[in-house]
Amino acid sequence: AQSVAQPEDQVNVAEGNPLTVKCTYSVSGNPYLFWYVQYPNRGLQFLLKYITGDNLVKGSYGFEAEFNKSQTSFHLKKPSALVSDSALYFCAVRDDNYGQNFVFGPGTRLSVLP
């Protein structure tokens, strides 16, 4: 069965600095990987996905993520953080051996300090 880990509950970064939110996964088949962001009292908002092709994928709001098959990781990155990026970030995986269902990581709270 698929699983997702986000090893950091909280990430703090100064505005203007690069940010990284980590995600590792475990699947038996090929992974479909996703990042979602959740602002307070809101639903989850899709940021980006990796299905196949280039390992570096670009998404909304200047975010990008790199798929690393050997390390089974899909870390979310942004070159220059904004205070408005402060939110809860979820990594999710779908294992193509296990149908259409998704498993979400526990979430990482990102705080960007002015």
Partner 1 sequence: EPEVTQTPSHQVTQMGQEVILRCVPISNHLYFYWYRQILGQKVEFLVSFYNNEISEKSEIFDDQFSVERPDGSNFTLKIRSTKLEDSAMYFCASIEDPWSSYEQYFGPGTRLTVT
Q: Which residues bind partner 1 (CB under 8 A)?
A: 32, 34, 36, 38, 42-46, 49, 51, 88, 90, 92, 94, 99-107
Q: Which one, 15 or 98, has the nearer CB to partner 1?
A: 98
Closest distance to partner 1 from the beta carbon of 16 (Å) = 27
Length of the chain: 114
Closest distance to partner 1 from the beta carbon of 72 (Å) = 19
Q: Which one, 13 or 57, has the nearer CB to partner 1?
A: 57
| 8 Å CB contact between 93 and 31 | yes
